[in-house]
Structure 1
Amino acid sequence: MLDDRAKKLLLSLIAQYIGQGQPVASKALIEHAGLELSSATVRNVMADLERMGLIVSPHTSAGRVPTPQGYRFFVDAMMTVGQYSSVEDDLLQAQLQPDTPQRLVATAASLLSQVSQFAGVISTPKRSGQQVFRQIEFLSLSTQRILVIVITPDGDVQNRLLHVAEPYSASQLVEAANYLNSHYAGIPLSQIQKTIKQELSHLQQRVADLMQAAISQPVQDATTQLEDALIVKGERHLLNVNELTSDMNRLRQTFHLFDEKTRLLQLLEQASTADGVQIFIGGESDVLPFDGVSIISAPYSENNQIIGTLGVIGPSRMAYDKMIPLVNVTAQILSRVLSHTSTTTNIEY
C-alpha cells in the first residue's frame, strides 16, 4: 500500500522517465512533482519504492527508473481512455474506408505503426473453416506437381501446390475445375469436405481424388493458416528505440516474438476476451517474460461479434496516455467499418 505522497512521487517519476528517457534523481523529482518536501524525505520515499520493487537504480546512477511493476501501477492509475487528438482520429477514419476484410486489417496494422512509430500488429478475422472460393483452376507443373489457383470472393489469388503420384491429363484438370466451380463456389470448405466423398462417387476416381485433395489442403495447411492469421507492420521502427538498440539481447527477444507467431497469437487471443484495452508489460509475468517491451491491445468486432485483436508493440517506456487511446480508437473505427462492409456486401470470411 502506498500513501498519497508516495503515489504522487512514483507517478511523477515514471512520467518524467517516459518523457526524457533518463534515470530520475531526487532533485529533478522534487521540481517535477511540485511537492514541498526535503531532499532527504524524497530519498527515503524512493528507497521505500525501490524495496517494494516499483523502481530500481540502474548501475551506479544516482537516479531511478521504473520496473515492470512500476509501469503496471502507472498504467492502472491512468487507464481511463481519453479522447485521441482529432487530427489523428480523422487520419484513422479517412484511411479505414470500406474495403475487403483482408485489406482493411492490413491497413489498420499499418496505421497503428505509422501513428505510434512502433510495430502495429493485428490478428486477422477468425474464419473457423469458413473459407470459400469464387473460382478454382488447376495447372500442371510437372508429372507429379499440380498448382491449385484459388480466387477468393474478394478477388485475392492464392496458390497451393499439390504433389500427386501419377500425372493428370489436361482434360482431367479441366473436368475437376469445372465441377468444383459449378457445384461448390461460395460454399464453406469445411462444409464441402463433409459431403464431397458421397457426391463424387459417379466421377472418375482419379478426378474425384484430385478435387478432394484440392479442397482439403487450404484448410489443413496449418503453417499457411498461422502466417495468414497474424499481420505485423513497422517492426523496423523499433530499431530507432534507444532502450532496445542499447540492449541487443532484449532487441533479439523482441524480434524473436515476431517470428514466434504462436506466442504472439496467444497473447492477442487472450486480449480478445478482455473488455476494451488490455496491456501486457514485459517482465511482470510469464505471458511476456522479458522486460523492456509492452503490448497494448484491444479486440475489434463485426456486428458486435469479436473477430480479432489489434495492438501496438513498443518499449515499456512509451507514452501510454497516447498509445492507449490510439489502440482503442483504431479498434472502434475498424469494427464500425467492418460492420458496414459486411452489411452492404455480405462478405464471407
Structure 2
Amino acid sequence: MSRQRSEDPGQAYGLSQLNERSREIFRQIVDSYLVTGEPVGSRNLSRSLTAPLSPASVRNVMADLESLGLIHAPHTSAGRLPTESGLRFFVDAMLEFGDLSDEERRNVQTRVASHGRSADDILQQASSLLSGVSRGAGVVLTTKQDARLKHIEFVQLDPRRALVVLVGEDGSVENRLVPLPIGLPASAMVEATNFLNARIRGRTLLEARAEIEAARTAASEELHELTAGLVSAGLADWGDGDADQRRLIVRGQSNLLEDLRALEDLERVRLLLDDLESKKEVIELLGRAETAEGVRIFIGSENKLFSLSGSSMIAAPFRDDRQQIVGVLGVIGPTRLNYARIVPMVDYTARVVGRLLGEG
C-alpha cells in the first residue's frame, strides 16, 4: 500500500529535531486526541509515559513541541492538542499503517458485492461500507460517461422547453432541460426519442455521442432539420462541463452528528455538512486524489474546502480492467479520524471496487 506525502514541504518536520522523549510525548498527545478529541495535560501524560518523568519536565517538552508548531493549547489553562501541522507530521512520519486481516478483507468483498453486481450497486455499497467503518461520510466519485445507457426520452413541458430523461442500465435516472427551437413540429419528440433509442442502448454516453456524430449526415436526411438539432442537444447536454460528467455519491452524513462534545463541535459539523452540499468543491478535491498512485490524505486547512470545518479526507483512486483510473473513493470526517485503520481500508476497498467493475 502506498500513500502520498504532504504537498507542503514547509509542514514537514525532521524526526531528528525530536529526541525519543519528545517523540513519545507527542505521540501520546496525538493518540489521546484521536481517541477522545480532548486536550491532555502534563500530569496525565507523566503517568502514562514508559519512562518516569515529572509533570514539570513534561511541560518543558510540551513547550518545545508548541514552539515547533506541533501542538497548541485550545484554552489558557488547558492541556494540549495537536495542530493540523502536527497531525500531518504524525501521519507522514510516525504513524504505522497495518494491513487488513483476512476476515476484514472478506467482509469488504462481501459487503461491496452484496446487493448485485451493477456498477451503481458496487459504488453505493462501497460508500456505505466506508461510512460505517469510519463513522464519517463515505464518498465515491466516478464519471457518468462510463454508465451504459438503456433509454432516453423527450417530454415537452411547454412550447419552449423539453425535459430529457436518460435511463442507465444500472437503473440510474438523469433529467435535463433543453430549449426547443421555434417551429418544432409536434411529432419531433417522438422522432427524436425513437432515433436515439435505436442507437444508444448498451453504449456509454461517450460511445453514443460518437455514434450520433458519425451518423450526422444520415440523421439530417432521415430527420426533419429541427428534430436533428434536438437529437444533438439531447445528448450534448450530458457532456458539457467537467462537473456534469462527474457523479458524486455521499453516504453517512448523519454519522457526523454523533459523538458531539461541545457547541464548537456542532458548528464544525454544520460547516462540514455545508461543504458536502457544495458538490463542486468536493468533486474538485476528490479529483486531485485521482492523480495519486496510492492513498491521499487531506487534513484541515491544507485544503480550502476544509479550512473552516477542520475536517480530513482519506481517498484512493480505483481502476478498470485496463488499469485506467475511473474514479476515486474515500472518507470525510473530523481530523481525529482513525488514520491507521481507515487508510488501509480505503486502499483495499478501492482495489476491490476496481476488480468488480472490471468483471462487470
| TM-score normalised over the length of structure 1 | 0.85
Report if the CA contact (8 A) 2:320-2:355 is conserved.
yes
Q: What is residue 204 of structure 1 aligned with on the other side? A: 224
1:336 aligns with 2:352: no
Q: What is residue 138 of structure 2 aligned with on the other side? A: 120
CA–CA separation in structure 2 for the residues paired with 1:289 and 1:332: 30
Q: Per-residue deviation at 1:27? A: 2.0
Report if the CA contact (8 A) 1:118-1:238 is conserved.
yes
Q: Per-residue deviation at 1:48? A: 0.5
Query: Mapping of 1:259-278 within 5 angstroms?
Result: 259-278=277-296
Structure 1 residue corresponding to 2:235, chosen from 215, 218, 240: 215
Query: For 1:274, what is the secondary structure of its paired residue?
Result: coil
| Cα-to-partner distance string for 1:168-212 (whole Å, 9 max, x where unaligned) | 556433333222233454452431453354232213222222222
CA–CA separation in structure 1 for the residues paired with 2:140 and 2:175: 23
CA–CA separation in structure 2 for the residues paired with 1:236 and 1:68: 24
- Is the alpha carbon distance of 1:183 and 1:229 closer, same or farther for their aligned partners in structure 2, counting shifts above 3 Å? closer
CA–CA separation in structure 1 for the residues paired with 2:128 and 2:122: 10
Structure 1 residue corresponding to 2:313, chosen from 284, 287, 295: 295
Query: For 1:275, what is the secondary structure of its paired residue?
Result: coil
| Cα-to-partner distance string for 1:42-72 (whole Å, 9 max, x where unaligned) | 1110111011111111213341111111111
Among all aligned residue pairs of Structure 1 and Structure 2, give the percentage whose two residues are the same amino acid: 37
CA–CA separation in structure 2 for the residues paired with 1:266 and 1:243: 31
| Cα-to-partner distance string for 1:117-176 (whole Å, 9 max, x where unaligned) | 11111111x35x566533333334444443333332434343333332447556433333
Query: For 2:66, what is the secondary structure of its paired residue?
Result: helix
Q: What is residue 236 of structure 1 aligned with on the other side? A: 254
CA–CA separation in structure 2 for the residues paired with 1:211 and 1:85: 52
- Is the alpha carbon distance of 1:160 and 1:284 closer, same or farther for their aligned partners in structure 2, counting shifts above 3 Å? closer
Q: Per-residue deviation at 1:94? A: 0.8
CA–CA separation in structure 2 for the residues paired with 1:156 and 1:211: 21
Query: Mapping of 1:76-225 within 5 angstroms?
Result: 76-97=92-113, 99-124=117-142, 126=143, 133-166=149-182, 171-187=187-203, 188-192=207-211, 194-202=213-221, 203-220=223-240, 225=244
Q: What is residue 322 of structure 1 aligned with on the other side? A: 341
Root-mean-square deviation over aligned CA pairs: 2.7
| Cα-to-partner distance string for 1:80-106 (whole Å, 9 max, x where unaligned) | 431235554333211212622223112
User: Aligned letter for 2:129?
Assistant: L
Report if the CA contact (8 A) 1:132-1:189 is conserved.
no
- Is the alpha carbon distance of 1:13 and 1:287 closer, same or farther for their aligned partners in structure 2, counting shifts above 3 Å? same
| Cα-to-partner distance string for 1:3-40 (whole Å, 9 max, x where unaligned) | 12211110112112222332111121122221232322
Q: Per-residue deviation at 1:79? A: 4.6
- Runs of 5+ in structure 1 lacking a partner? 342-349
Report if the CA contact (8 A) 2:134-2:337 is conserved.
no
Query: For 1:242, what is the secondary structure of its paired residue?
Result: coil
Q: Per-residue deviation at 1:243? A: 5.7
| TM-score normalised over the length of structure 2 | 0.83
Query: For 1:60, what is the secondary structure of its paired residue?
Result: coil
